[in-house]
Amino acid sequence: MTIVNVDPLLAEELFQHIWQFRLFTQSGLKTLEGEPVHIDHPGQHNRHAGPDFTAARVHIGGTLWAGNVELHMRTSDWFRHGHQYNLQYRNVILHVVFEHDMQGCTTNGIPVLELQHCIPKLLLQRYELLRRSAAFVPCAGSVSTVPALIWTGWKDRLLVERLEQKADMLKSWLLQTQYDWEEVCFRAIARAAGMPVNGDVFLRLAQSLPYKLVLRHQSDLFRLEALLFGQAGMLDGIATDGYMTRLQQEYGYLRHKYQFTPLECQHFKWLRMRPASFPSMKIAFLAALLHKNNHLFSRMLEASDAAGLEKLLEVRPSEYWHTHYRFGKPVGRTQTPGTRAIHNILINTVLPLLYLYGRERGDGHYQEKAISFMGQLAPEQNHVIAGWNALNIDSDSAGETQALLQLKQAYCDEKRCLGCAVGVRLLRSGIL
């Protein structure tokens, strides 16, 4: 009998999980030499170099041993991994294997405990079902049976995990700017304004402008537009109207004075998007936002609720963009990015930045605010959340949708069922 027909590393992960949570018959255990084994404590799972479990307490033949435990799928893996030469394994008190495939009853004098006949076959079969599933999530057929209490605690952990990941990305910009929180906020908002398809090029646009120069011209909306549209490469070529002509003249002066090198406008993507999401509209929005909010990040820190943050981002672009989506192409009336777009910026940028601020300063108040504000925003709408809804897993807030996105991307898609509170619950309960 094999543990499951999957990658050996995944099989070993399951075997470690079985040992850690004692999901095997514990009565009548004996080493290969026939000495009785009683497990007081399986030890602490070690995810770094060295034995798999540390600080274990095991009775072997009437003697209590304290030390490390090493697990392998086969006894021969001890030698295949070269543990006989590694001093980190000299304090191993028990070698636990799924299958004994060698002559002799010990490994370098270390007792061997074989477990394959002590593990319920149903447990192995359940895990194999999860691993082989091609559904939206591996446990699609039974996920709705998991108690609400399990879901509540697990979603809370997933939300923090997602915030931590996003905060880590922002931390790199913090280091680049020598902890200039306002400049990091500018970069983050710019990238968020360009999402989902133009995020990277909007970030490059923000990075191409010295932030101190942006601050210097913050009170002049026209000059901000000239800087941003010019650096985006959207003022090249023949002007299509008087407004573009004036922007070209202004940017030409600034470019010569500060020796700017603009981006190439072909990097911006326009196809298959609503006019309100055109790069030109997003740049006009970014200019208006910078013009409206002096010390934007400081004002974000002062917000008492999500509605206060939302108001900071509610801006109208300059008058030209009330009747244009692109230069030289007038329309009756434009639509600007609405509440949903603002919420996306808050969810994916502002709140992770707020969380990072609390983490860096050791002030849990701001981390708690970020989590609380997530709970005040409406749930997101996308194909992943629609997939969860189809399984009767609903969301009441953006905090919950962020948790479900993290669950799908980091656990379900990677088949990390043993790291998932829902997967573990189903695996142990047998409801699959």
Say if CB 261 and CB 251 are below 8 A apart.
no
Angle CA 83–99–92, to nearest 5: 35
pLDDT at 107: 84
pLDDT, one tens digit per residue, over 178-224 is 999 999 999 999 999 999 999 999 999 999 999 999 999 999 999 99
d(CA 108, CA 286): 67
pLDDT, one tens digit per residue, over 114-127 is 999 998 887 888 88
pLDDT at 12: 84
Q: Any alpha helices (H) in 133-274, and if so which ranges?
A: 148-176, 181-194, 199-207, 211-216, 221-231, 242-258
Q: Which two tokens stand for residue 47?
A: 């995810």
d(CA 291, CA 302): 19
pLDDT, one tens digit per residue, over 152-172 is 999 999 999 999 999 999 999
pLDDT at 8: 52
pLDDT at 430: 58
d(CA 82, CA 94): 17
pLDDT at 6 over 50: no
